[in-house]
Structure 1
Amino acid sequence: MAMGDDGTGTAVSRSDRDDDRHEDRAARHDDGAHDDRAARRDEAVRAAVEQGLLGPATPIVGLLDVTGIRESAARLRAAFEAVVAPGTPVLHAFAVKATPLVPVLRLLHEEGIGAEVASPGELALAQAAGVPPGRTVLDSPAKTPAELREALELGIAVNADNPQELARIDGLIGSAAGRSPLGLRVNPQVGGGAIEALSTATETSKFGVALRDEGARAWVVRAYAERPWLTRLHAHTGSQGVPLPLMARGVAETYALAEEINRHVGRRQVDTIDIGGGLPVNFASDATTPTYAQYARLLRETVPGLFDGRYGLVTEFGRSLLAKHGTVVARVEYAKSAGGRPVAVTHAGVQVATRTVYVPGAWPLRVAAYDAEGRPKQGPPVVQDVAGPACFAGDLLAEARPLPLLEQGDHVAALDTGAYYFAHHYAYNSLVRPAIHGFAPDGRGGVAFATVREEQSLAEVVAESGGAHAGSLTTLGASSRR
C-alpha cells in the first residue's frame, strides 16, 4: 500500500487519503443537502397553509419530508456498504419506536430498511407496513411467552435480554428451532453519555446481561456452548448524548465477546453481531452531524475484524433516520405579554414535545417563525416565549427565544421533530393527536401532500377515555347500598 506524509511527519496511506477526500466531498454534499432540506421545509409550510392543511380549523399539523427520508436511508446503506467486505449480509432495521407510523415503515421498507420492534404493537405496525419477518428483529426487556411464541413461529429474529428469558426460549423453540435467528443481548458496561435516561451501557442499565458482573461473562460463553442455535450477539450502548467513541467501544466489547465464544466452541457459531443504533442527532442546526459515514469509518478503525466478512451485521437506527425530516407546525392563537416579555400562545406544546417541555435542557428544539401565509417571518429578533396549549405554566416549546415578533395568525415550526415527537402523543388536557402529512415535489414546481395519519376526532378521544363504559362505576355495587 502506498504511503505518504500528512505534513506532520505521520505516514498516511493512500486509502486513508481517499477516505479523507471522500468525507470532504460528503461534507460538502451535506452542506447542500441541508440547504435543500430547509428550502423544502419552507415550501411545504407555505403550501400547507395555501392548501388548507393548516389554518384556524386545523391549527397544528405534522409534516414529513419524503425526499429527505429517502436520502437518509440511502446514506445509511452507502455508509456501511463502503466498509464491509463484499458479500457481507447487512440488515438495517429501523427502530419503530422512533416513528411508529405505518406509511413511514412502508417507505423505509421500500428503501431497503427493515424493522426493529419492541412490543406487540410495534410488530403489528411492521406487519401492516409489509415488512417481512426475515427483515424484522424483536428486542424488548419484557417479552411474554405469547410474544416469543409468535416471533418464533413467524421466523423473526429474537434477542433474549436475560437468563430467564433464554430459559423461556429453551422451552418454546421445539419445532421452531432454526426458523428464527436467535441471540442474546449483553451490556458491555462501558459507561454513559450526557443523557442518563438514554445511556444503556451503564453499570446498572436494565438492558441485557451485564458482562462485568461477577460470573456473567463466563455464563454467557457457557450459554452459547450449550445452545448451538444461539448465533447472534447484540448490544446497544445508547443514543442521544452518547459520543461516537463510546458507541464504538461498546461494539468493540461485543465483538471481542463473539470472538471468545467462537474460540471456546471451536467454530463460528456466532455469525452475526447486532450493533444497535443510537447515532446522535444535531438539534442545533440543519446540518446532519455526525453522519453514518463517519460512524461506519470509526467502527472500521476501532473494530477492523468486524468488517472482514466473517460476521453479518444488524443495525437498529431510529432517531437519526427520521428526526431531520419532520416538522410540527402550529398556528399562533394569541400574542400577549407577561412581565414585559412577549408570549406567543400556540397549539404545539407538551402533547407533541413532551421531553422538550419537561426536560428542556436535554431536549432543546429549534423553532422557526412563519407568517400567516406560511412564509418565513421577517423582522428583527425579539426575545419571546413560545407557549403550548396545555393548562400548566411550564408548557413552553421555547423560552426566551430570539425570533421575529410573533403575532396572532402567524405560525411556529418545531424543527427536527420527525422522531419521538408528533408520533408520540401525550394526551394532556385530552388534546387531540394532530394530522400528519408527507410531502414531496409535485413535478410542476409545487408541493404534493399525502395523509400519513388523520387528525384524531373528539369521538375517538371519548372512546379512548371509556366513553362506552360511562355508567360502569355508578352501577358498581349499587345493589349493596339499597
Structure 2
Amino acid sequence: MAAPLPVAPDSADPNFADLIAARPGLSMHAQDGLVMEEVPLSRIAREVGTPTWVYSAGTLRRRYRALKAALDGAGLNASVHYATKANDNQAVLRVLAAEGAGADIVSVGELRATMAAGIAASRTVFSGVGKKAEEIRFALGQGIFQINAESVEEIAMISAIAAEMGVLAPVALRVNPDVDAKTHAKITTGKAENKFGIAFEDAAPLYARMAALPGIRPIGIATHIGSQITEGVAAFHAAYARLAEMIRGFRASGLPVERVDCGGGLGIPYRDEVAPPPEALAGAIKATLGGLGLPVMLEPGRWIAGPAGVLLASIVLQKQGSNRRFLVADAAMNDLIRPAMYEAWHGIVPLDPVRFADDAMPADIVGPVCESGDTFARGRAMPLMAPGDFIAFLDAGAYGAVMSSTYNARPLAAEVLVDGNRFAVVRPRQMPEDLLAHQRLPDWLAP
C-alpha cells in the first residue's frame, strides 16, 4: 500500500480519547473496544451487520431526567414533550414514555407512533405549518393536548373542523419573535423571514380574533426559534422576554392564557462546542416567564436523543488518491445525511482498541453513493484501516435514521437498542427485495 501523502489534519479536532471521555454512555475497553453501556459495539456490528443505528436506553433516561431536574430545580411548573421528529423509533419512544415524557409531533404519522408507544394524545402537542384537515380532525378526535396554530388560515380551518365535531380545540398561537438563534440557516425557525409562526406584531389582534371564534379554546402562546443552539441562552432569553411582554398585554385586555410553550432547540456538543447546560435554559425561562405564574412546556428532541445514538459502519476499502487518502465506508449519505445537508460534524472513531490507539493520519471519510456530497469528513485524523474494520459515527441518535432514504436502491439500516448488558434489534434491516415489494407495474407494461 502506498504511503498516504502528508495533508495536515484539522488540529482543532478533538482526539478519539477526548471524544469518548465526553460521552458517558460510551467507553473504550482494552479488550472489547468501544462499548455502549455494557455492550461491545463490535459484537453488534458482527451479529447485526452494518450499517446499523444503535441507541442507549440509559443515555435517553439520563438526559431526560437531567432536563426535568433542571426545570424542577428552577421552581418551574414545567412539562417535557419530546420532539418525535428527532427519532421516532418505537423503542426510543417507549423508554421516554416510561419516564413520563409527553410528545411534540408534526404529523398524524408521528401521533400514531407516539400513541402506539404509550404517550397519550392528551400529553401531545401538534406543531407544524402544514397540518391537513384530516390530520386536525384525527388529532381532535383523539383528545390532543394542544395544537400550535401557525397562520390565520390554519386557525380558520381548526375552528370550522372543531365546530363541526362539536368540540373545543385547545389552540396555542405560535409566535415568531424575530430572534436570531445564531444556528445553521437551514434549522433557524424564529426569524421574520422563516415560514414558521405568526409575526410578533400580528399576534395580539389575531389572538383576540381566535378567542371569539367557535370551536376554539385559546390556551396560550408558543414559540420555537431554531435547532442546535449552542451560543449560550441569550437568544432564548430574548425570545421569552418578548413572549412575557405579549402575555401581559393579553391579560390586560382580558384574554385568557393558560400556559406557555417554550419550544426546543437546546444544542449538543458534536465536536468540542461549549453547549449551554439545561440549568442555563431553565434559568432563562425563570428570569423571563417565571413571574407570570403559568405552566411552561419544553419540546426537546436532539438534546435528549442525539448523544444516545451511534451509527456503526464497516470500512469497504482504503483508497489512496493522488493527494488524499480515502476511507470508503458502507454507510452513506442516504443513511446519515446531516454532513451533506448541513455541513455537520460528527465524531468518527474506530471500534477496535488497537486502531483506537494507533497513529492517525489525514483521511477523507466517504460513502459509496454516487454523489460527491457523500462525504462525512475531510482531512480527519484516522489510523490506517483495513476492509471490514468497524467505525462509529457519534451523536447520531437524532435526525439520523428518521432522515434516511433508499437513494441508490440502498436498503434502510437496522436499528438496535442497548439497555445495560442487553441489546435487541428494534427495527430489522430492510432487505433488497423490500425495495420492490410495494411497486406496481401498470397493465400495459406487465410481462
Q: What TM-score, normalized to structure 2?
A: 0.87
Give 1:454's aligned residue: 428
Give 1:470's aligned residue: 441
Aligned identity (percent) is 25
Q: CA deviation at 1:278?
A: 0.6
Structure 1: distance between partners of 2:292 and 2:371: 55
Q: CA deviation at 1:224?
A: 4.6
1:433-452 alignment, distance < 5 Å: 433-442=412-421, 448-452=422-426
Give 1:42's aligned residue: 34
Structure 2: distance between partners of 1:275 and 1:83: 15
The 1:456/1:138 distance shift into structure 2, 3 A limit, reads: same
- SS, match of residue 298 in structure 1: helix
1:223-262 alignment, distance < 5 Å: 223-227=209-213, 229-241=217-229, 243=231, 244-262=233-251
Structure with the larger RCO, 1 or 2 (CA within 8 Å, 6+ apart)? 2
Structure 1: distance between partners of 2:160 and 2:187: 33
Give 2:126's aligned residue: 138
Structure 2: distance between partners of 1:32 and 1:432: 30
1:370-409 alignment, distance < 5 Å: 370-371=351-352, 377-409=356-388
Alpha-carbon displacement from aligned partner over 1:163-203 (angstroms, at most 9, x marks no partner) = 11111122122386666532111111123523112111111
Q: CA deviation at 1:245?
A: 0.8
The root-mean-square deviation of aligned C-alpha atoms, in Å, is 2.6
Unaligned 5+ residue runs, structure 1? 1-30, 443-447, 476-482
Structure 1: distance between partners of 2:262 and 2:165: 25
Give 2:62's aligned residue: 71
Unaligned 5+ residue runs, structure 2? 1-18
Alpha-carbon displacement from aligned partner over 1:65-106 (angstroms, at most 9, x marks no partner) = 111111001011101111135xx3x32111111001111111
Match 1:313 to one of 278, 283, 296: 296
Give 1:367's aligned residue: 348
- SS, match of residue 121 in structure 1: helix
For 1:237, the aligned partner's letter is I
- Kindly indicate whether the alpha-carbon contact (under 8 Å) linking 1:64 and 1:327 is maintained by their aligned counterparts in 2: yes
Structure 2: distance between partners of 1:284 and 1:141: 32
Q: CA deviation at 1:434?
A: 0.9
Structure 1: distance between partners of 2:313 and 2:405: 16
The 1:137/1:149 distance shift into structure 2, 3 A limit, reads: same
- Kindly indicate whether the alpha-carbon contact (under 8 Å) linking 1:238 and 1:247 is maintained by their aligned counterparts in 2: no
Alpha-carbon displacement from aligned partner over 1:346-382 (angstroms, at most 9, x marks no partner) = 112201221202442xx111111233xx765221111
- SS, match of residue 24 in structure 2: helix
Match 1:272 to one of 246, 254, 259: 259
Give 1:6's aligned residue: none
For 2:42, the aligned partner's letter is V
Give 1:263's aligned residue: 252
Structure 1: distance between partners of 2:39 and 2:253: 62
Instruction: Count the aligned residue pairs.
Output: 420
Residue 163 of structure 1 pairs with residue 152 of structure 2:
yes
Structure 1: distance between partners of 2:147 and 2:283: 28
Give 1:423's aligned residue: 402
Match 1:297 to one of 267, 283, 296: 283
Q: CA deviation at 1:255?
A: 2.1
Match 1:98 to one of 56, 65, 86: 86
- Kindly indicate whether the alpha-carbon contact (under 8 Å) linking 1:55 and 1:331 is maintained by their aligned counterparts in 2: no
Give 1:222's aligned residue: 208
Q: CA deviation at 1:450?
A: 1.7
Give 1:190's aligned residue: 179
- SS, match of residue 77 in structure 1: helix
- Kindly indicate whether the alpha-carbon contact (under 8 Å) linking 1:34 and 1:288 is maintained by their aligned counterparts in 2: no
The 1:132/1:455 distance shift into structure 2, 3 A limit, reads: same
Structure 2: distance between partners of 1:418 and 1:203: 30
Structure 2: distance between partners of 1:245 and 1:473: 62
Structure 1: distance between partners of 2:251 and 2:71: 24
- SS, match of residue 324 in structure 1: helix
